[in-house]
Structures are given as C-alpha cells and as structure tokens.
Structure 1
Amino acid sequence: MGKRDYGGMTVNERLFASGLLDDFDRALAKGDKAAIEDILEQVDVDPNLAKSLLRDGC
C-alpha cells in the first residue's frame, strides 16, 4: 500500500485520518515527546513544525 497524501489537511485531520489521534492524545497526556514526534512524522508533519510544537506546547 502506498503512502497516504495528507496535503491540504490540518494536523488534527491527519491524525484522525491515520487512526493515530488516540495514540497522539495518550502521548500528549504523558508528555512523551519522543512518541509525539514519531506520530507527527508518520502523518508527514514538517520536522521543523513538529519540533516547534514540541518546544512550545509540551
């Protein structure tokens, strides 16, 4: 199966469409930055944006 095209989707939409929203919420609740970064990478969030979100939001 090919890689999903997340173009035009918000981060939340990407997480929902990929089935990773619950995993992301759990990682966020635990403050597990490594898991959060991994999940964001799986839904093609720009690495710089992911690092910025982690730095500012966790």
Structure 2
Amino acid sequence: MLGIEDLIKRTQSAANAARLEGFENTALSLAEIARDIQAAWIDQEISRHKNDISDIVG
C-alpha cells in the first residue's frame, strides 16, 4: 500500500507530466487533488497528536 507522502508525490508528478503534454486542465485537477490529500493528511496528523496529548494530560 502506498503511503500518503508517496501518493502526493505521484499525483504531483502526474500533474507535471500532464502540464508538459499540454493537458493544463488535467494538470490543475491533479495538483488540486495533491493539495487536498496533503491537507487531509495534515488534519489527520494534528488530530492524532491532539488525542495523544489528551491521553497524556488526562
């Protein structure tokens, strides 16, 4: 299974390739997907750390 960071990198690479081939709309869509994945991952990590802190603090 791919890690989130690998998925983000692959999506960004696909966006760059699409841009080079002249598929600007596809490139923009892929770039947006990569940003959405990254934002969701960051939100998930923040929530996880908040839960860890809550468990420690009580």
TM-score w.r.t. length of structure 1: 0.38
Structure number with larger C-alpha Rg: 2
- Relative to its length, the structure with more helix (as a share) is 2
